[in-house]
Chain A
Amino acid sequence: MKGRPHRLKPQAGTPFGRLIDRARPLDFRFDGKRLSGVTGDTLASALLANGLRIAGRSFKLHRPRGVLGIGSEEPNALVTVGEGGEKTPNLRATMVPLADGLVAESQNRWPTLRRDFAGVANRFKPLLPPGFYYKTFKWPAALWPFYEKLIRKAGGSGRAPEAADPDRYEHVHLSVDVLVAGGGLAGLCAAEAAAAAGLSVLLAEETARLGGIADGYDGSVDGLFLLDWIRAKVAALAAHPNVHLLTRAPVVALHEQGFAWVVETVTDKTTADVPRERLWKVRARETIVATGAHEKPLVFPDNDRPGVMLATAARLNLRRYAVAPGQVAVVVTSGDEGYRTALDLKAAGVEVERVVDLRLRPDSPMVHIGMAMGLSVSHGSAPVAVRSIWGGATVDSVTVANRLVIEGAALTREIFCDTVLMSGGWSPAAQLVGHLGARLPFDPAIGAFRPADLPLGLQVAGAANGVFDAVDVIEDGWRAGEEAGRRLNPKKKRPQNRMSAEFDVTRDDPSEPVGMLPDPAKRYEQARAFVDFHNDVTVGDLRIALSEGYTDAEHVKRYTTLGIGPDQGKTAHGNSAAILAHLTGIVPTEQPHTTFRPPWTPVSFGVMAGARRGDGFKAARRSPLEQIIRAGSPPVEAVGQWWRPSCYPVDGESEEDAIRREVRAVRSTAGILDASTLGKITVAGPDAARFLDLMVATDVGDLAPGQTRYALFLDDNGFIRDDGMVARLSPTRFLLTTTSGNAARAYDHLEKWRQTEWPDLDAHITDETERWAQVLVSGPEARALVERLDGASTLLSAGSALLEGMVEGVAARIMRARYTGAPSFEIAVAAGYGPALWTRLAEHGATPFGLQTLERLRLEAGNIAIDHETDGTVTPFDLGLGRLVSATKTDFLGRHGLMRADLTRANRKHLVGLVPDDAGLVPPPGTQIVDGPSAHPPRRTSGHVTSSGFSPTRGRAIALALVANGRARMGQTVHVFHAGEARPARITGTDFAMGAL
């Protein structure tokens, strides 16, 4: 919908177009159309200047909408900016600075903004009551997949980019005395007072400029025009060594202990040196919230048409960008702001047909100035309808009615105009206070929520504190800054901030808090009187929600979607509270608000992640053998923080072929595996044996030096945490090996119990994992292979399970193992010698094998792997490992837990082998086991597959599974439910290598 362009002609001596440079035009594209603006514009002001009234469509009804506000409160003009990976959805056009070549798109429309297909929804508004989805799509259940598809298509605001984000983001940590959120009048004064008290100050302002909306007001302070006074203050602050000023950097979240998130937009186009956005993680001793206020819309039928705008937003658009909202205006207001806007419009050459004042008998300087300047004013009137003559989207007339009607129909009058500017008073924008759990009581005097009962270390100043007149705002800012100084620096004497008596700023007659106008409207009018513009919530919707029993503010919010979405209902929550209180008949002060949660404005995922993406996402630990074993780029998999090769394919082998070849090599000759990643923890000290006997379910205190034992670590419930070898190195020293992914956790676990439960035991725990490079040599020829290492044969002849001595001239540890089901030796040398050891063994003919091959080998041997066969609810007895639980120790972690009734009942799930009848069918881990093949859903399952694979040794698929009462069901046939089919399989023992088949 294009109208006449709305940019004012340059006129000397007028205050209009303060921020723009007409000499430097900018080209941009909106929905593919080439448009032009000027330097200094925002996207919203440029769209208005081009006469584009419709900037977007609403979320639910796809009603056409125009720009409503001036800042981050904007609920209507949501746009997607950028292309490719830099595309950012849900930006508020009022907050996007215009740049040359900017590409923006409107949202919630298809195929175009003007002809929107889903806008049909608007015609069926009565069919889309709150809770529509819950009510409509419940039945029949079989159609849900169809409904879901439709809902998914319609849902969501904006579209996420499909390409990866090429931009850089960074995090910065900062500790300051005082954080000031907001750089308006109050924020600047608070920062000034705090800095004067010798405190370090971070002032974070959401928009690109300091001073807030003070440029919408005239008057003078200390003999200076308001704007010049602010300029002087900003210059002094910028020069102050203790003050850091940030612009385009909203405080998006406040947390306990003075922690705050500030998201700074550094640039809109990243270059190599400059990140796009920066997340400041601020720790402040005192926080001052000076986030200003948002102007409330008035609630009347069709108040959402493009062309209806907030009065102060229209005035600021005039003063900043020389953009007029239209040619013929009607101003509807419940306070003095409307008069200021009307006077500005008049000065700019816009015809002001009428100022409609809701107040019955307004008496304030602005009203008198307005009348004296010749404004045509109606008192005690209210808008009741907005119409477009030809059924168009925008505004051609507004109908106003007398508010006080004694009898009969109200006197109405239709006034023709092309824009309606409304002001319902101010609503403090102190949502940040709510992040810390403070409630904001409803203040009927201003018709909005106002912060009270603040937690320690937090203050609110200025309009956010419900103080709206410029002079009071200045005083309130100074008060907050001085208070911060008193709290943090009580001894210091500080200068007094006082303005001279000569100020000339008009004071307002407090706006009459008006929620719904005119009071009880007809049903069909309520259904068009919008409270939340973004989510299409009307007075009628609120009434429906209440009549269906959703009386609590939080329930109303969920049921009607009031106050959700990218704007978080910034323009809605003051009005909705007044209306809800009115409809339910409760005292307005009792009306609670919904919980305000971070973030204050939408935050990009990129800046949350910062440098933690790609390689920076997770720290990687590297095996000392990494350079050798990953030289041929084998496939790797993540194990904890390690990356371990799955197998080593040669000559273009597939992964499965490589695994089978490696398994056969280990079964016939010998293979080597990088086992450096296994956790290696030593426990030393006079009480080491006693401590370990408490920590481990298996008896280990009776080990002789040089002996090893496979042991289980339980938690105090009796469930398996980890398994590993425990070796006694000397009477007072033990070595524990743990699963690769578990080393750090196992160490923490040991330390926690030592420090908190048994602090009197003299034992020291050391994580030696990265000190050692370790190679597992496995296969029938493993011993022969190891003996070819210089010095190993003498060492092995000693016969112990654990041997320490010199191998190839360096200190080594050799431990016997049987995890693969074949004779194995784990050889550990100092990390730096690892590559040499590996190379030597490979030269002697050992086949390198990877993690997947090891998995297949231990599956054939029927050995368990932590997190495959265990899931935190599995006991040693479930796995048939009861022999590893000590019968003699009176106490160890899990002993008493294991004796509980549920852990000892007979029909728990047992670990069994599973052999599918189809020798080629490998049921993946997690496959459910069902008893009958033909049972109708819901099927009863009796267990699940925990590990599976094709056994090259047996030439068929094998699996391990946890099956209810499995040990009593040996030889029985069950069914694995795989790919939608139940396939028969036989329950067997677990030791496939030893002939369990």
Chain B
Amino acid sequence: MLLISCPVCSITADETAYTCGGDAHVTRPQSLDPSYVSPERLTDYLNLAPSARGWCRELWRCHGCGSWFAMLRHSGNNRIAATYRLDEALPQPPEEAV
């Protein structure tokens, strides 16, 4: 059970008070140029999630304030390095080995 702090309303609560929304910072190709999206880009966008072991960025929604924010989490040991607003600069994963 993750313990998550919402960067918008700053509440800290159990994972059950949030909803995970999959990978963050995914580029939707048709938002960039709706006139033409190559089938390969479209397939990448629709079907392929990175899902790698290591540091990943995910979208989470706080049930308190209703905001979507991003979380920098290590998928191997569930360590959370940071949660941040979507309009913030991206925090970097910690250097030390985990």
Across-interface contacts of B29 in A (CB, < 8 A): 896
Checking B14, B35, B61, B87 against A759 with a beta-carbon cut-off of 8 angstroms, the contacting residue is B87
B2-A257 in contact (CB<8A): yes
Digit string of B59-94 for contact with A (CB within 8 Å is 1, else 0)?
Answer: 101000011100000001111100000110000000
B30-A751 in contact (CB<8A): no
A755-B86 in contact (CB<8A): yes
A569 to chain B minimum Cβ distance, whole angstroms, is 25
**Docked complex Cα distance between A717 and B30 (Å):** 12
Digit string of B15-37 for contact with A (CB within 8 Å is 1, else 0)?
Answer: 00001010010001111001101
Checking A255, A258, A890, A900 against B34 with a beta-carbon cut-off of 8 angstroms, the contacting residue is A890
B30-A259 in contact (CB<8A): no
Across-interface contacts of B19 in A (CB, < 8 A): 748
**Docked complex Cα distance between A255 and B59 (Å):** 22
Digit string of B37-52 for contact with A (CB within 8 Å is 1, else 0)?
Answer: 1010010011000000
Across-interface contacts of A759 in B (CB, < 8 A): 86-87
Digit string of A773-817 for contact with B (CB within 8 Å is 1, else 0)?
Answer: 000000000000000000000000000000000000000000000
**Docked complex Cα distance between A890 and B68 (Å):** 27
A651 at the interface (CB under 8 A from B): no
Across-interface contacts of B61 in A (CB, < 8 A): 748, 751-752
**Docked complex Cα distance between A468 and B2 (Å):** 35
A283 at the interface (CB under 8 A from B): yes
A656 at the interface (CB under 8 A from B): no
* Chain B, Cβ-Cβ closest to A256: B78
B9 at the interface (CB under 8 A from A): no
**Docked complex Cα distance between A694 and B68 (Å):** 19
**Docked complex Cα distance between A505 and B79 (Å):** 43
B21-A752 in contact (CB<8A): yes
Across-interface contacts of A752 in B (CB, < 8 A): 21, 59, 61, 68
Digit string of A891-916 for contact with B (CB within 8 Å is 1, else 0)?
Answer: 10001110010000000000000000
Name A residues whose Cβ lies closer than 8 Å to a Cβ of B: 255-259, 281, 283, 437, 455, 716-717, 748, 751-752, 755-759, 890-891, 895-897, 900
Number of CB contacts from chain A to chain B under 8 A:
62
B68-A755 in contact (CB<8A): yes
Across-interface contacts of A758 in B (CB, < 8 A): 31
Name B residues whose Cβ lies closer than 8 Å to a Cβ of A: 1-3, 14, 19, 21, 24, 28-31, 34-35, 37, 39, 42, 45-46, 59, 61, 66-68, 76-80, 86-87
B37 to chain A minimum Cβ distance, whole angstroms, is 5
Across-interface contacts of A258 in B (CB, < 8 A): 3
Taking A455-B77, A751-B68, A896-B30 as contacts, is the C-beta distance between A756 and B1 under 8 angstroms? no
Taking A256-B78, A890-B34 as contacts, is the C-beta distance between A896 and B2 under 8 angstroms? no
**Docked complex Cα distance between A891 and B31 (Å):** 8
Across-interface contacts of A455 in B (CB, < 8 A): 77
Across-interface contacts of B34 in A (CB, < 8 A): 890-891, 895-896
**Docked complex Cα distance between A242 and B72 (Å):** 34
**Docked complex Cα distance between A533 and B68 (Å):** 52
Across-interface contacts of B77 in A (CB, < 8 A): 256, 437, 455
A259-B1 in contact (CB<8A): yes
**Docked complex Cα distance between A256 and B3 (Å):** 9
**Docked complex Cα distance between A489 and B93 (Å):** 26
Across-interface contacts of A257 in B (CB, < 8 A): 1-3, 78, 80
**Docked complex Cα distance between A748 and B20 (Å):** 12
A896-B42 in contact (CB<8A): yes
**Docked complex Cα distance between A437 and B79 (Å):** 12
**Docked complex Cα distance between A757 and B25 (Å):** 9
A-B contact pairs, 26 of them (CB 8 A): A255-B1, A256-B2, A256-B77, A257-B2, A258-B3, A259-B1, A259-B14, A281-B1, A283-B3, A716-B28, A748-B61, A752-B21, A755-B67, A755-B86, A756-B21, A756-B59, A756-B68, A757-B31, A890-B34, A890-B35, A891-B30, A891-B34, A896-B30, A897-B42, A900-B39, A900-B42
